[in-house]
Chains A and B, each alone.
Chain A
Amino acid sequence: MYNSSKISIAITCAIALLFSAAALAGPKTSYGLGVTPTKEEIALWDIDVRPDGQGLPIGKGSAIEGEAMYEAKCASCHGSFGEGEGRWPPLAGGENTLKDDRPEKTVGSYWPYASTLWDYINRAMPFPAPKTLTVHEVYAITAYVLYLNDLIEDDYVLTQDNLAQVKMPNQDNFYADDRPDTHNTRCMNNCKKPKDIVIVQSLRGITPEQEEEQEQGAAKVEEKAKPTLSKNALAGEAPYKQSCFVCHGSGIADAPRTGDKNAWASRLKQGTPMLIKHAIEGYIGDAGVMPPKGGNMNLTDEQVTAAVHYMLEQN
């Protein structure tokens, strides 16, 4: 494609020159490029939602319905009460902390609009499998997160018509950019008294070492192992990268790291079928929560099985 388009660029450049000269003179240029999408095609892509509710699809859901969905697809990272597991972001709490020395910005304490929550869950969550939730799930889970923040009752049914009416506590506390807000001047001499200067040294011990860490990432491990992969495991590479790497690549959420022999040794004793069962159905172990299919219910059992083989062959 790129060869052909390079040539066409060279040609159109010359033509475009003629065109723009003409454009100066009068009517709008039209390059005649692109196609007109149908209404259906636009609707398929047009997923955004605004504070006034524009863009919401017809649907509904309550926190009561959302609890189990949230528990299965969100709680492993965001915590059962929205408190945030490990380093993952919390989704609730932090009321009245915005003026504190350490403010806690959450959906309840900071977000100005409920529509943003619907829109974001729909476009970006669950993190390992974005855009896989049904409209009903998005309504129900949104309701559940609002409920966790004490913003609606658990039996309140959120719909396309009432979402915009959920008033967020912090809505009125945002204002437009009013910078520049500093007014330094270009002083050249005697700008301050040398004796007033106090030097604050940097915190010790938090600058990353510059050499090893980055190179030892899971990506490296994978590359090394690749040539010896079985056919089964090869098929698992894509689903692994899409839905398992997020936890098993880094060991986040206390997931056993792919390629970390020690972490897997005792697990292997259960036998591969049990590991596969755990990966497909999910389970809670001593280390933490392994969500069913890593939270991506769109994966087939075969894909998850292949992903497990892929993981095991990295050891």
Chain B
Amino acid sequence: MSKNKISGKAYLAELANNVPSNARRNFLKQGVKFSTGLVAAVASNEAISGNSTALDVPSWSKSLGSGVVSTPYGIPSKFEKNVIRRTVPWLTADKISSISMSPIQELKGIITPNGLVFERYHAGSPTVDPEQHRLMIHGLVDNPLMFTMDDLMRFPSESVIHFLECPANGGMEWRGPQMEALQFTHGMVSCCEWTGVRLSTLLDEVGLKSKAKWVLAEGADGAGMSRSIPLDKALDDALIVYAQNGEMLRPEQGYPVRLFNPGWEGNTSVKWLRRLEIGDKPWHHREETSKYTDLMPDGRARRFTYEQEANSVITSPCPENPWGSRGSYQIEGIAWSGRGKIKQVDISLDGGVSWRPTKLKGLVLSKALTRFSLPYSWDGAPALLQSRAIDETGYVQPTLSQLRKVRGTNTIYHKNSIHTWQLLSDGKVKNVQLK
């Protein structure tokens, strides 16, 4: 048998930071071409009052619109075409094991519409027939059980609002800023109302043996996505979810049923869930060894890094939402913590020299996106904008230098550092990092 020594070669498949040179060439076309129609229109009042046609009775006021059920399942206005998920093609070898980001720069409030929730597949999004689908629970239990979807929906249900985040969110920027768009720097996070049965209810039904300590969750997709979940989490707030934002799960989100672990890295919330095995030890499967472990500078690696620590980012302004004329603005953004509620978000305009508190807006829920805002009168001065979240455990979102000091630049996952936008005097916003 012949065998050559393998020459060194970087593995790009997950979120490696090195960009192949041919991909770079492909994306040399630059520019913030995608700024929204909305911003362009609102940006300047002068433009509107200078435009006589805006005062004319518009055609839609003098005619009839389309009737009911012209789109039986409604779709957004055609003027919102730019509000879509996007991917970074050079990140992965193909689109089947890949990721897309939510357009968080366009979203309002804390709920992500179902069609805009970020996607992450390891073998594509399967088409699962709910009639045929079963969820089996077995292992260290008294009575193994197999449920149909109908069975699952007959248990008492709960609805909770929680964020879902890929631990690789922001992972492209450990070494330096790379992405001139909020959608790409932070878009692997979404927040929905999730409806389902508490996992503890189902575990009660099967009856746990005294040695039970871990749960293996396995998906029905081609990847058979599998993760080991400590029993404590399963008995605490884990849910077996079949609906999101009022309707059945989207296929992308695990139709017809998924696990949901509030506050934990997204891939533990196994989609297209078909099997839960109870055991006394973790399984150390590929998605908790080769992937989703955090390589530290000393060459060792952390594993089972489940929690998503407190994070925040300013969504307006951002590269996609530049400011136009001077005057009143709301600096606005989102914050979240996998450990509980957001208690406070501060904003800095001078790169972290001084900070001012913001107001939290609307619902402030545990392990959910939380909105903050600060009214601001802009005089055209350049600024280095940052937001810093503090959660109810007292944890303060770290600076990038603090994170790098402990973790180096090769951990890929869990980059939750304070983010910096550079606001230029022409209102454009650039993605920068501060040393």
Interface residues of A (CB under 8 A from B): 1-2, 4-6, 8-9, 12-13, 16-17, 19-20, 28-31, 33-37, 41-42, 45-52, 63-64, 67, 81-84, 86-90, 92-94, 97-99, 102-107, 110-113, 115-116, 119-120, 123-124, 127, 130-131, 148, 154, 173-194, 197-211, 213-214, 217, 245-246, 249-250, 252
Tell me the minimal C-beta distance from B31 to chain A in angstroms: 8
Question: With a CB–CB cut-off of 8 A, which chain B residues contact A249?
Answer: 94-95
23 A-B pairs whose Cβ atoms sit less than 8 Å apart in the complex: A1-B150, A9-B153, A9-B154, A12-B155, A33-B155, A34-B151, A45-B274, A83-B6, A83-B7, A87-B92, A98-B299, A103-B410, A130-B222, A174-B300, A179-B309, A186-B390, A188-B346, A197-B434, A200-B433, A200-B435, A206-B179, A208-B89, A208-B184
- Against A, the Cβ 8 Å flags (1 = close, 0 = not) of B400-418 are 0011001100100010000
A5 to B351, Cβ gap below 8 A? no
Question: With a CB–CB cut-off of 8 A, which chain A residues contact B146?
Answer: 34-37, 41
- Give A104 to B6 CA distance when docked, in angstroms: 12
**In the complex with contacts A5-B154, A124-B122, A211-B33 CB distance below 8 A:** yes
- Give A115 to B226 CA distance when docked, in angstroms: 14
- Give A254 to B433 CA distance when docked, in angstroms: 37
A28 to B6, Cβ gap below 8 A? no
- Give A4 to B153 CA distance when docked, in angstroms: 11
Question: With a CB–CB cut-off of 8 A, which chain B residues contact A19?
Answer: 156
Pick the contact of B434: A12, A16, A199 (CB < 8 A): A199
Pick the contact of A93: B6, B34, B395 (CB < 8 A): B6
**In the complex with contacts A98-B295, A99-B298, A173-B301, A48-B144 CB distance below 8 A:** no
Question: With a CB–CB cut-off of 8 A, which chain B residues contact A48?
Answer: 216, 218, 226, 277, 283, 285
Interface residues of B (CB under 8 A from A): 1, 3-4, 6-13, 18-20, 23-25, 27-30, 33-34, 82, 84, 86-90, 92-97, 122-123, 130-131, 136, 138, 143-157, 176-181, 184, 204-205, 207, 216, 218, 222-224, 226, 248, 274-275, 277, 279, 281, 283-286, 289-290, 293, 295, 297-307, 309, 344, 346, 350-356, 384, 388, 390, 395-399, 402-403, 406-407, 410, 414, 422, 430-435
B305 to A94, Cβ gap below 8 A? no
Tell me the minimal C-beta distance from B106 to chain A in angstroms: 11
- Give A188 to B348 CA distance when docked, in angstroms: 9
- Give A179 to B395 CA distance when docked, in angstroms: 11
Question: With a CB–CB cut-off of 8 A, which chain A residues contact B95?
Answer: 217, 249-250
Pick the contact of A202: B176, B390, B398, B407 (CB < 8 A): B176
Question: With a CB–CB cut-off of 8 A, which chain A residues contact B181?
Answer: 207, 210
A29 to B150, Cβ gap below 8 A? no
A47 to B434, Cβ gap below 8 A? no
A102 to B144, Cβ gap below 8 A? no
Question: With a CB–CB cut-off of 8 A, which chain B residues contact A83?
Answer: 6-7, 9
Tell me the minimal C-beta distance from B272 to chain A in angstroms: 13
B11 to A28, Cβ gap below 8 A? no
- Give A250 to B89 CA distance when docked, in angstroms: 11
Question: With a CB–CB cut-off of 8 A, which chain A residues contact B92?
Answer: 87
B226 to A123, Cβ gap below 8 A? yes
B94 to A184, Cβ gap below 8 A? no
Question: With a CB–CB cut-off of 8 A, which chain A residues contact B30?
Answer: 204-205, 207
**In the complex with contacts A94-B8, A124-B222, A176-B302, A1-B435 CB distance below 8 A:** no
Tell me the minimal C-beta distance from A3 to chain B in angstroms: 11
- Give A84 to B6 CA distance when docked, in angstroms: 10
Tell me the minimal C-beta distance from B294 to chain A in angstroms: 8
A177 to B307, Cβ gap below 8 A? yes
- Give A102 to B402 CA distance when docked, in angstroms: 21
Tell me the minimal C-beta distance from B406 to chain A in angstroms: 5
A46 to B87, Cβ gap below 8 A? no
A191 to B355, Cβ gap below 8 A? yes
Tell me the minimal C-beta distance from A302 to chain B in angstroms: 22
Question: With a CB–CB cut-off of 8 A, which chain B residues contact A8?
Answer: 150, 153-154
Question: With a CB–CB cut-off of 8 A, which chain A residues contact B96?
Answer: 127, 245-246
- Give A234 to B245 CA distance when docked, in angstroms: 36
Tell me the minimal C-beta distance from B128 to chain A in angstroms: 13
Tell me the minimal C-beta distance from B360 to chain A in angstroms: 15
- Give A252 to B23 CA distance when docked, in angstroms: 13
Tell me the minimal C-beta distance from B14 to chain A in angstroms: 9
Closest to A217 in B: B95
Pick the contact of A115: B207, B284, B355 (CB < 8 A): B284
Pick the contact of A42: B144, B354, B356 (CB < 8 A): B144
- Give A92 to B7 CA distance when docked, in angstroms: 10
B180 to A202, Cβ gap below 8 A? yes
Counting chain A CB atoms within 10 Å of each CB, the highest count among B24, B154, B205, B407 belongs to: B154
Tell me the minimal C-beta distance from A241 to chain B in angstroms: 9
A124 to B13, Cβ gap below 8 A? no
Given contacts A181-B406, A188-B354, 19 further A-B contacts (CB under 8 A): A17-B156, A34-B147, A35-B145, A36-B146, A41-B146, A42-B144, A46-B277, A48-B277, A50-B281, A83-B6, A89-B93, A110-B289, A124-B223, A124-B286, A174-B302, A183-B402, A191-B353, A192-B353, A246-B94
Counting chain B CB atoms within 10 Å of each CB, the highest count among A93, A189, A203 belongs to: A203
**In the complex with contacts A36-B146, A207-B180, A214-B8 CB distance below 8 A:** no
Closest to B31 in A: A209
Closest to A67 in B: B1
